[in-house]
Amino acid sequence: MLRVDAEFAADHDEIPWQVMYTMRNRVSHGYEQVDLEIVWKTIQYDLPALHIQVQEALTNLPQNNDNEGMTP
């Protein structure tokens, strides 16, 4: 989450980058108390749609064959 290219993130603003970053920090660092019900609902209801969004974004990436960057 820390290394999402700004242009890529802007091109795919349908993906909730800030929400994912915030949730990751709360779970990882234990800010306040993690509500496991929210985590479970996120897994059940939000992750399937997010998976599709990310897969579509990655599918539309141009192939990089110069070994200077990542490819899907």
* 29 is annotated as an active-site residue: yes
Q: What is the DSSP string of the chain?
A: -TT--HHHHHHTTTS-HHHHHHHHHHHHH--S---HHHHHHIIIIIHHHHHHHHHHHHHTSPP--SSSS---
Catalytic one among 3, 26, 29, 51? 29
Q: What phi and psi, each to the nearest 5 degrees, are found at residue 9? A: -60, -40
Out of 12, 24, 26, 51, the active site residue is: 24
Active site residues: 24, 29
